[in-house]
Amino acid sequence: MNILFITLTRLYNNTTAGGELYLLDLIQGLSKLKVTPYLLFPDSRNKSNLYVRKYDSKGEYKEYEFKGNSIEDNFSKIIERFNIDIVHFQHFQTLPLSLMKITKDLNKKLVLTVHDYFLWCDNFFLLSPLKGAQFSFCLFEEDETLCAECLKKSKGIWELIYKQTWNGEKYSKDYVAERRRSISNILANSDLIISPTEYVRDSFLGIYPSINSDRMVVLEYGLNKNFKNRHRYPHKYPNNLKVAFLGGFKYEKGSIYFNELLETIKDKSIEFYIIGKLETSLKTQDFSNLKIIGQYKREEIGDILFQEGIDLIVLLSPCAETFSYTLSESIMNGIPVIATDIGALRERVSKQGTGFLVPYENPVPRTLKLLEDIVINPQILEIFKKNCFEAAMSFKDINTMVSEYLDLYKKISEA
């Protein structure tokens, strides 16, 4: 079985991005099971040029370049040359939707994984500039006129998050409507659509009635469960409460709200940490109660959290996360969270009882009150630590995830 995975960039072993970690684990796992995985990604300078990696049973690869033709021609040649059976699109941005149509025209199985909301909107975090000074999650706005207006005004959010120029002039009501009609047709004809959480599945079934619900399944990301049992740190009360921002420090992950916490809380009984790459600027000028650890490798995160004695992690994303690796890392290391009440964060935290939920549109006031209460009564975290340990035991490991994918690939191949 030859499977071609479509993504946007090279996969690096030192990545910390959730979607890339999952794809690396999946490809390396499948390569050991008599499956030949291929990875396709576009040239960052010329999107018509495509690169393909062919992985062997050891997870090593040989890379090929296809150029000199249109992206559609190059894509068709790749399908033919490597005798691809299944094309699995992981990301879609910068790639033409025509590639998915070509997949079906060539009688190949089409699989899509929903890691974000690009299949609903070009502004794929769905953060809208229409509701005020700050960008807010649009809750899958369906009014095409409003959507076109939002996209025309999205220059600020695009440059802030995506670090790219933005041409809002091309957007119109007709553009939005036609794009959604095309994607609705693609989804209706897909052999399999994979979602990492129930929230994402329910959302897409709601906005695209054309989807055959039997063909849209939930498969959580598999995780490395070789973690150390640290769910019960030695009691160190009444020492300072140590609160961390975990993951890339950027807008869509809640950096704006963490900055507010830093500017508001001057109580030395609360110490703040940033464990992740700084991708947006810090507003504070006072670093007396802030320690910046910086970017980490996933195999290091348990040791970092334990050595620093982190008590609580804040995940204040303003948009609806589709899974959240950082939530998994928090839970597996026995650390409760304060998370925004939307998307996968709401689904997973409420289901597993691993922390507190705060409003996603303005989380800071409630977060401040929670931190004040925890400083006074830190023992309140103990029940959440216990829940973290129990939740971590139920997490799917990488091998199980790979086996489940292989079963699904075999099923659609035989259909």
Q: What is the pLDDT of residues 132-174, one digit of tens each?
A: 667 889 999 999 999 999 999 888 777 777 777 777 888 999 9
Q: Please give the mean pLDDT across all residues of the chain.
A: 90
Using a 10 angstrom Cβ sphere, with 0-12 exposed, 13-18 middle and 19 or more buried, the burial of residue 166 is middle
pLDDT of res. 297 = 86
Say how many C-beta atoms besides its own lie within 10 A of residue 170's C-beta: 10
Contact 5, 88 (CB under 8 A): yes
| E strands in 29-135 | 36-42, 50-55, 61-66, 86-89, 109-113, 127-128
Q: Are 291 and 272 in contact (CB under 8 A)?
A: yes
CATH class (in words) of the domain with range 2-122+171-222+397-414: alpha beta
Check whether 284 has a pLDDT greater than 90. no
Candidates 3.40.50.2000, 1.10.490.10, 3.30.70.330, 1.10.8.60; correct CATH number of 241-394?
3.40.50.2000
* 105 CB burial (10 A radius; 0-12, 13-18, 19+): exposed
112-135 pLDDT, tens per residue? 999 999 999 999 899 998 876 678
pLDDT of residue 165: 75
Place of tokens 């929903």: 114
Q: Is 325 helix (H, G, I), strand (E, B) or coil?
A: helix
Contacts of 404 (CB under 8 A, 6+ apart): 219
Vertex 100, ends 127 and 221: CA angle to 5°?
60
Banded pLDDT at 368 (limits 50, 70, 90): very high
Q: Is 116 helix (H, G, I), strand (E, B) or coil?
A: coil
Confidence of residue 228 (pLDDT cuts 50, 70, 90): low
- CATH code 3.40.50.2000 region(s) in the chain: 2-122+171-222+397-414, 241-394
